[in-house]
Amino acid sequence: MLTEAEAAIFLPCLIEKSGHNIEKVREKMGELIKQMINIYSLPKLLPYILEGLRSKNNRTRIECVDIIGYFMDHNGTEVGGLLKNLPSVAALTAERDGEIRKAALNTLATAYKNLGDDVWRYVGKLSDAQRSMLDDRFKWKAREMDKRREGRPGDARAALRRSVRENGSDVAEQSGELVSRSMAGSMMSRENFGYADAHTVPRQMAAAVTGPADWREALDIVALGLPEQSVEGMKVICHELTQAVDPESSALDDLIKEADRLVSCLSVMVPKTFNFSLSGASSRSCKYVLNTLMQTFQIKRLAHAVKEGTLDNLITELLLWLLDERVPLMDDGSQLLKALNVLMLKILDNAERTSSFVVLINLLRPLDPSRWPSPTPSESLAVKNQKFSDLVVKCLIKLTKVLQSTIYEVDLDRILQSVHIYLQELGMEEIRRRAGADDKPLRMVKTVLHELVKLRGTAIKGHLSMVPIDAEPQPIILAYIDLNLQTLAAARMLTPSGPMGQTHWGDAASNTPNPSIHSTDAQLKQELAAVFKKIGDKQTCTIGLYELYRITQLYPKVDIFAQLQNASEAFRTYIRDGLAQVEKNAAAGRTPSSLPLSTPPPIASIPSPKFAPSPVHTKSISSKTDCNEDDAFRVQGDSDLRLQSDQQTDRFQSSGLLPSPASLLLGYLTVI
């Protein structure tokens, strides 16, 4: 939690920075302010926001007005003193700056949505011109609500009053139960997911009593954290997710904005519903939670909108309940286990892959004992952690197996940073100790690094921006990258562009012995040579076109067709059409492996290259896997880790590695 002394120092700066000149910075600051109520109550936070209305920076004033509107929309107008401060917002409708007036009118329209005509009692004294502007905006808001079938302005407040009159004692009892449960929740859960504030309970409980009017209200009900009541909310959300799959529906864009909040709420509901069912209740609420998560992660754009912290909590909860020995004994326990498995696989398929890698590598560390659902006297904490790590390893195996086709979908710098942190936390002494102890987590991290080095060759050194390469002593990951490069090159599975075992890790130029020969232009020339060779091969043409598209995005001033002067016109046309196809599919969010491209024509008029390239070895990795399989490990030296399974489809077929693109120099390319 944030203390008042800390808030007095931090919040004024945060509020002022919310009006930063750079839009991205403004967005990040706004997100932080909205999350502050998880660690600092809204009544205490509001005075700092109101102080921002008096800032000399107009952008700060606009952002503060928008944030007040956000809290009204999500927490209700009667929370934290928002109502009594409406005159401060209404006064801004007289400002000369049009953007400030517009922001104030939008926030007051939000208040009108909640209060109806009662809003006029709280806006203070206004001029006729201000009242006219407000009246026009309120009429517009009423029309918008009617179009969206959100009812009439003030209906929510009226429903709350009716529910309190008709169900006063029940609502009060449930509200008290929720508040006490929220206060007793773990600090980590509050920090990550922001349990419902006690002030929001009455409004949300009214929705739970009368039934949700739309999916946003349904999400508010789920956020209450009451297993039985949340089922009605999840029904509405599932219906909305089904509609969002329709390509003609515009609902998906709205859902994407709330995807992280939705998954956050559902992550919190997973342990609540399972514990509720274990207490003797029906498993109905468990099924609804898992089904809603399943539908969410079936839509790739929604899955990609889930933030890393939320994904971390969700994956942890799912794996913990997969290991819980009480689940098979529950009502429909076998179905719940199957649903947990399928959902986990769906997350690995569709969630943002970089986040998945980072989360899973982080989860290879021993888990905090407080995260386990219940004590199991029959097993020690070490045994439980080992079982948990085994599941995490199997999930990482699934992601690693398809790296060859997804390498351009991941942020290599962030993955390498996670590997670096894991190795540094262990230290060399612990790594040596574990090397002979069948330590699966360490072997898995080495395997991920091995695959990345194999696929990127010496270019992997260009992805160490988040690793302190100049630190003393040298980061452990650098030695492992060099060792992998040496091993792969010795096995003729890689053609390095510089000497192996070098001690200096700087920029691309510093990795080569002769910068005048291996300049940036020369490296780009070699990259293009390798890419054109891939495009000329029907087995690798799709990934080659995708790589070429990436180069055109990184180097827009380079004329790639000037490098194809000796190529046939058919080949040039194929590349031009292929790039257009890739660009179209990239805009639609499709992966390289799914691009429907035709077989490339022969490169008839291109003469033989001056230098014969090294043989290209490929390594096929099957995508079929299951998180319940028992995978065995075999180590060939410290750098050549292979994963094997009894299942033929789950084997890493070690036929070799792709060469570094910079190693192929074709004679028909002209100097860039």
Evaluated on CA atoms 187, 191, 194, 198, the torsion sign reads positive
Are 90 and 152 within one domain? yes
pLDDT at 262: 93
Whether the CB-CB separation of 94 and 127 falls below 8 Å is answered with yes
Residues 6+ apart with CB under 8 A from 577: none
Least confident residue range of 92-106, 238-252, 462-476, 592-606: 592-606
Q: Which of 529, 556, 588 is the last residue of a domain?
A: 588
Q: Which of 547, 571, 588 is the last residue of a domain?
A: 588
Are 404 and 546 within one domain? no
Q: Indicate whether 77 belongs to any domain.
A: yes
Q: Indicate whether 638 belongs to any domain.
A: no
Q: Indicate whether 179 belongs to any domain.
A: no
Give the number of domains in the chain. Answer: 3
Domain containing 318 equals: 215-455
Are 301 and 445 within one domain? yes
Are 360 and 235 within one domain? yes
User: According to DSSP H, which parts of 440-517 are helical?
Assistant: 440-456, 476-490
Q: Which of 658, 653, 659, 585 is nearest to 623 (CA)?
A: 653
How many C-beta atoms lie closer than 10 Å to residue 499's C-beta? Answer: 12
Q: Indicate whether 191 belongs to any domain.
A: no
Q: Indicate whether 548 belongs to any domain.
A: yes
Are 149 and 236 within one domain? no
* Residue of higher predicted confidence among 338 and 622: 338
- pLDDT tens for 601-656 read 554 433 333 332 332 333 333 333 333 333 332 222 333 332 333 333 333 322 22
Confidence of residue 268 (pLDDT cuts 50, 70, 90): very high
Are 343 and 438 within one domain? yes
Are 155 and 236 within one domain? no
Are 541 and 404 within one domain? no
pLDDT at 210: 44
Are 339 and 235 within one domain? yes
- pLDDT tens for 475-533 read 999 999 998 888 888 776 653 343 333 434 444 334 434 443 344 566 677 677 777 87
473 upstream amide cis, omega within 30 of 0: yes
Q: CA distances (Å), 653 to each of 70, 448, 637, in order? A: 53, 16, 18
Confidence of residue 279 (pLDDT cuts 50, 70, 90): confident
CA geometry: angle at 80 spanning 74 and 81, to 5°? 115
